[in-house]
């Protein structure tokens, strides 16, 4: 299973809206995979569950809803590893501990390129700002500007370089005007990257 990529790509949103026309949220993700588990998460458990719909990618409006599988139902053979074939996607609407986590579109690697965002070129300073923004709160326990302070200690980035990189990231829509990270910003941080 691969990592989830958060996106505002219009084709991903269109697939999500096709599967769940009543969904009015703004959380969309895409996961490139060849198999999906629709068994263990399709029933309510601790305030969490997922709804699954399969969608044809040929432009038709045809969708197939996967019925929920509870722990007490006879198990459907193969529901824990349903293959995704080219031309087919699965839209998963995720509720976790009562909170709507949005819609994740699972697609086969062959169909992924046209749905994935283009790679973002970042300077070293921009990457530093994104990493610290993604992993730290900016204030805690009365201390403020924690992200910059920790980045400065580790990388010796100056406040001028930090502010310039932050402004550049805002213009690229990887940070919001208030300095919080966007989904696209999270995607731009290398996987497994930690401070």
Q: Where are the domains of the chain?
A: 4-107, 124-188
Q: What is the mean pLDDT of residues 134-159?
A: 90
- What are the angstrom distances between the C-alpha of 142 and each of 138, 145, 151, 161, 178? 10, 10, 18, 25, 19
State the Cα angle at 68 between 65 and 73, rounded to 5°. Answer: 140
Distance CA 75, CA 85 (A): 22
pLDDT digits (tens, 9 = 90+) for 31-84: 989 998 887 677 777 788 889 999 998 877 778 888 777 777 777 777 788 888
pLDDT digits (tens, 9 = 90+) for 151-177: 999 999 999 999 999 999 999 888 999
Query: Which has the closest alpha carbon to 76: 47, 42, 27, 110?
Result: 42
Query: Which has the closest alpha carbon to 151: 127, 178, 182, 170?
Result: 127
Our measurement of the distance from residue 23's CA atom to the centroid of its chain's CA atoms, rounded to an integer in Å, reads 16
Q: Which residue has the tokens 């309510």?
A: 44
When pLDDT is cut at 50, 70 and 90, the band that residue 130 belongs to is very high
pLDDT digits (tens, 9 = 90+) for 113-129: 788 777 778 999 999 99
Whether pTM > 0.85 for this model: the answer is: no
136: number of Cβ within 10 Å:
16
């Amino acid at each position: 299973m691969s990592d989830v990529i958060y996106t505002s790509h219009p084709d991903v949103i269109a697939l999500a809206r096709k599967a769940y026309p009543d969904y009015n949220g703004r959380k969309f993700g895409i996961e490139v995979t060849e198999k999906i588990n629709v068994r263990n998460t399709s029933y309510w458990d601790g305030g969490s569950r997922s709804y699954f719909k399969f969608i044809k990618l040929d432009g038709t409006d045809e969708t197939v809803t996967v019925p929920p599988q509870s722990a007490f139902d006879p198990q459907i053979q193969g529901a824990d590893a349903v293959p995704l074939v080219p031309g087919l996607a699965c839209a998963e609407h995720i509720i976790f501990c009562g909170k709507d986590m949005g819609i994740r579109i699972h697609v086969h690697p062959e169909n992924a390129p046209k749905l994935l965002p283009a790679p973002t070129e970042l300077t070293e300073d921009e990457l530093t700002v994104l990493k610290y923004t993604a992993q730290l709160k900016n204030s805690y326990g009365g201390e403020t500007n924690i992200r910059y302070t920790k980045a400065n200690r580790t990388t010796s980035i100056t406040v001028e370089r930090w502010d310039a990189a932050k402004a550049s990231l805002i213009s690229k829509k990887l940070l919001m005007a208030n300095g919080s990270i966007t989904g696209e910003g999270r995607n731009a941080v290398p996987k497994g990257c930690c401070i």
